[in-house]
Structures are given as C-alpha cells and as structure tokens.
Amino acid sequence: MIIDVHRHLVAKDTVQGHYIRGAQKSFVMMYNKSHKTNVSPRDFTDNVIRPLIDPHADNIVEEMDAAGVDKTVIFAVDYGLLFGEAPIGAFDQNKLYSEAAKRHENRLIPFIAIDPRRKGAVKHCEQAYHEWGMKGFKLHAGVGYMPDDPCCYWVYEKAAEWGIPIMAHTGGSPNSVPPLRWECSRPAYFATAAARFPEVKFIFAHCGDFAWWQEAVQAAAWLPNVYVDLSLWQKPYVKWPKARFYQWLRDIIDIAGADKIMFATDAPYPNLMCPLKEWVKAFTDPQTDFRFTKEEMDMILGGTAMKVLGLEG
C-alpha cells in the first residue's frame, strides 16, 4: 500500500490574487533553478500551472495509477482571513475537495482546511465531517495564529472527539503580501499543542522543512502522537548527492522510527521538480549503499499512514 498523505487540487478561483502574485515569485525561482530555465512569472502561470487545472482530480488519479500510489490525502489551505476571500470561499473549497473524493471513492481522502478563528467554522466543520465524510483537519498557522493559542483548542477537541488527525504546516512559506508568518509554523509550537492534546494525532507537514526538520523529528521521537510527512523533500532528493539524502533519511528513521514517517508530495508544485513516479521509486528502489529494510520502507510508503488514518483492519 502506497499512500501520499499531502496533496492539493489545482482549481480556478480557489486562490486569492494577492497570494498568487507573491507566491509565483518563489515558485518560479525554484522551478528555474531546478530546470535551468528562465521562465517568467507570467509564462509559468500560463504554460506550467494552468495545464494542471484539475478540479475533479481525474488527472491526479491517473498520475497515481501510473506511479503505483493507492490513496492520496487531499486538502485546500484556508488563507482567507489573511489575503481576503477567494472567489470560491474556504467552506466551498472544502466541499469541492469532498466531492472530488466521492468521485474517486477509495482513492482520495479529504481533509478540512480551516482557520480556527473563522466565523462559523465549528458548524461548517461539523457538516464537513458528518455529512461530507471528510477525514481530518488541515491547519496553516502561518496565516496569523500560534498553534498553542486557545483559539485552536476547539479544532483539537473536535479531532479528539471524532478520532481524526491534524495535518499541520511546518516550515517555510512562499513570498506573499501580506507575508505569511514563518514563526507561527515552527514545529516546536505545534509540539506544545500536541503535548497538550495527547489523544490527537498530529502530522507535521514537510517534516519541518530545511530549517526546522530537527525540531519536527525530535517531536516525533518524544511525543507518541506526532508524525512527520516527507512532502517538499523532493527538492533535496533531486539537488543533493544521493548519499546525502539517504544519510538524512537513515538519520530520521534512526531517531524517530519509520512508524513515525509518511510518504507525501505536496503536489502539484514539487512534482514539477521530481515526478511522482520518481519520488515513489526513491523509496521502493533506493539507489544507495545505506541499508533500509523492506519493513521500514513499507511503513514510510503506507503503513504509518494506514495507522494514522485509521485504515488498518
């Protein structure tokens, strides 16, 4: 079983203009460095991103099939209170994701993206869980709140009540105006929240990213309810010497355990640097002298996710 625990749809009118204009500068920079090109932000949007528009996830499932991925967790990001509402608001975006999951039943697993400060959020999340069948929460504290602030407690309490996990963005963020607050996305702050709510499973997205991966792994090693996903680590996999990447992977397994680590992409953008099929192969057929057991790789590719998502048995 191979499960990608972190992916986004590309759909029109779901991202605010302020975010697009700022973030594309970061994404274009990374794209050009990876491909040794000089694509302009406009060309990047028109020729690279627009062809990825896939609101029903039909192309996603086709890509999954080609790469041997069995299931994928999908969710939006609630940026509305920071950047202003997108034409399709946060609540309707969650509905869009739930409908895509129903269209591809048993392949896609939808999470609820929510800013806990949002008016009407509790009622909306109750509907999304009970009526739409959404299976987890997605939080991006970089929009302006601290993960251990009491404003978040109702999300953690609902996650505990419903027995569903929380995907927490940890690490950096792309350029934006107004800026996303990097300090709110430090793994250490989510670790405090996880310690306060030990009955809730927290997934630290991006394993804390380049700057804070050690914090994320330390939290996973210390706290039974903290896990990490490997989304965004395609870039170091591609750019670093393979021995360096696999040394890092060996280290985090030795520190936290393969049962705390999950395969993930954060597609679509990282897949432009490292196609899904190649990223899967990095774990199914690692080209390295470092030793990994089949049991370790099976846990990372899907076993850990099955446990966290309640898919076992």
The confidence score (pLDDT) of residue 13 equals 93
The confidence score (pLDDT) of residue 193 equals 98
Backbone conformation region of residue 206, classed left if phi is above 0, alpha if psi is from -120 to 50, else beta: left
The confidence score (pLDDT) of residue 34 equals 83
The confidence score (pLDDT) of residue 265 equals 98
Rg (CA), the chain: 18
- Class in CATH terms, 3-308: alpha beta
- Listing DSSP states for 6-71 in one string gives EE----TT-S-HHHHHHHHHHHHHHHHHHHT----HHHIIIIIIGGG--TT-HHHHHHHHHHT--E
The confidence score (pLDDT) of residue 264 equals 98
Task: Judge contact between 142 and 171, C-beta under 8 A.
Answer: no
The confidence score (pLDDT) of residue 184 equals 95
Query: Which one, of 151, 154, 156, lies nearest residue 168 by Cα?
Result: 156
Task: Judge contact between 57 and 97, C-beta under 8 A.
Answer: no
- Residue 178, preceding peptide bond in cis (omega within 30° of 0): yes
Can you point out the beta strands (E) in 10-82? 71-74
pLDDT tens, residue by residue, 53-112: 999 999 999 999 999 999 999 999 999 999 999 999 999 999 999 999 999 999 999 999
Q: Is 227 helix (H, G, I), strand (E, B) or coil?
A: strand
Distance from C-alpha of 35 to C-alpha of 231, rounded to nearest angstrom: 19
The tens-digit pLDDT sequence of the chain (313 residues) is 999 999 999 999 998 877 777 778 888 888 898 888 999 988 888 888 889 999 999 999 999 999 999 999 999 999 999 999 999 999 999 999 999 999 999 999 999 999 999 999 999 999 999 999 999 999 999 999 999 999 999 999 999 999 999 999 999 887 777 889 999 999 999 999 999 999 999 999 999 999 999 999 999 999 999 999 999 999 999 999 999 999 999 999 999 999 999 999 999 999 999 999 999 999 999 999 999 999 999 999 999 999 999 997 5
- Give the amino acid at 112: I
The confidence score (pLDDT) of residue 26 equals 84
The domain locations on the chain are 3-308
The confidence score (pLDDT) of residue 49 equals 86
The confidence score (pLDDT) of residue 24 equals 80
pTM confidence score: 0.96
